[in-house]
Chains A and B, each alone.
Chain A
Amino acid sequence: SQTIHQWPATLVQPVGSPLSLECTVEGTSNPNLYWYRQAAGRGLQLLFYSVGIGQISSEVPQNLSASRPQDRQFILSSKKLLLSDSGFYLCASTPQGSRNIQYFGAGTRLSVL
């Protein structure tokens, strides 16, 4: 079975600073990878997904970007954080051979002050 690692677990950043959140997957190859954001008290919003190295699709226009430099690595970035970027960020993966189930990492809590 696959394991999804996210770090850091918690992050406090000032407005205008850069951001890099990392997600790595173990136990499968060629996964589909997803970044979600969960604002306080709300559901999950899909931000980006990737079906392969270097292939990124954006779901909503925003201040964030994503990259997939390796098969099992997915990075969420920003050059300048906004207050509205605060939230809980979850990485998810659908393993090869079982695309119809998404598994989630433990998430990163980001506070922009």
Chain B
Amino acid sequence: AQTVTQSQPEMSVQEAETVTLSCTYDTSENNYYLFWYKQPPSRQMILVIRQEAYKQQNATENRFSVNFQKAAKSFSLKISDSQLGDTAMYFCAFMKPGGSNYKLTFGKGTLLTVNP
């Protein structure tokens, strides 16, 4: 079974600065997907970014980028130019494709606070 570990329960950053959230995972699969979801105080789960394991290029979405290290099974999220609206719980998640399930396995989350 896959496991996802987020070792930072809480982090804080000053507005306009850069912060990196860590995620490691354990799997014997070679093909899979990794995700970062954001859960603001409203508790709506919002997809931030997705990485396909067979792609070496790191995914980027505006101020959000990942550092995907497949051999190390590491998938960190970098948030540049942090904004107050980035304050949220961030979850790293793993998906093994194939079959019909497409289930997600989540880490326990990192609470990010952006300070003015």
Interface set of A (CB-CB < 8 Å, partner B): 32, 34, 38, 42-44, 46, 49, 51, 57, 59, 88, 90, 92, 94, 99-104, 106-107, 109
* Among B43, B108, B109, residue most surrounded by chain A Cβ atoms (within 10 Å): B43
Kindly identify, within residues 45 to 79 of chain B, every residue whose CB is under 8 Å from any CB belonging to chain A: 45-47, 50, 52
Q: Which residues of A contact B100 (CB under 8 A)?
A: 32, 51
Q: Which residues of B contact A44 (CB under 8 A)?
A: 45, 91, 104, 106
- Does A101 lie within 8 Å of B103, measured CB to CB? no
User: Does B95 interact with chain A (Cβ within 8 Å)?
Assistant: yes
Interface residues on B, range: 20 to 34
Q: Which residues of A contact B101 (CB under 8 A)?
A: 32, 49, 51, 57
Q: Which residues of A contact B35 (CB under 8 A)?
A: 101
- Does A32 lie within 8 Å of B42, measured CB to CB? no
- Pick the residue among B103, B106, B109 that contacts A49 (CB under 8 A): B103
CA distance A32 to B95 in the complex (A): 14
Closest residue on chain B to residue A102 by CB atoms: B104
Instruction: Please give 19 more A-B residue pairs, beta carbons under 8 A apart, in addition to A49-B103, A51-B100.
Output: A32-B100, A38-B43, A42-B108, A43-B91, A43-B106, A43-B107, A44-B91, A44-B106, A46-B103, A88-B43, A92-B45, A92-B104, A94-B102, A100-B102, A102-B47, A102-B102, A104-B45, A106-B44, A107-B44
Closest residue on chain A to residue B96 by CB atoms: A100
Q: Which residues of B contact A102 (CB under 8 A)?
A: 47, 95, 102, 104
Q: Which residues of B contact A34 (CB under 8 A)?
A: 103-104
Q: Which residues of B contact A49 (CB under 8 A)?
A: 101, 103
- Does A100 lie within 8 Å of B95, measured CB to CB? yes
Q: Which residues of B contact A88 (CB under 8 A)?
A: 43
Chain A: minimal CB distance from B112 (Å): 15
Chain A: minimal CB distance from B54 (Å): 12
CA distance A87 to B20 in the complex (A): 29
Closest residue on chain A to residue B33 by CB atoms: A100
Q: Which residues of B contact A57 (CB under 8 A)?
A: 101
CA distance A86 to B103 in the complex (A): 23
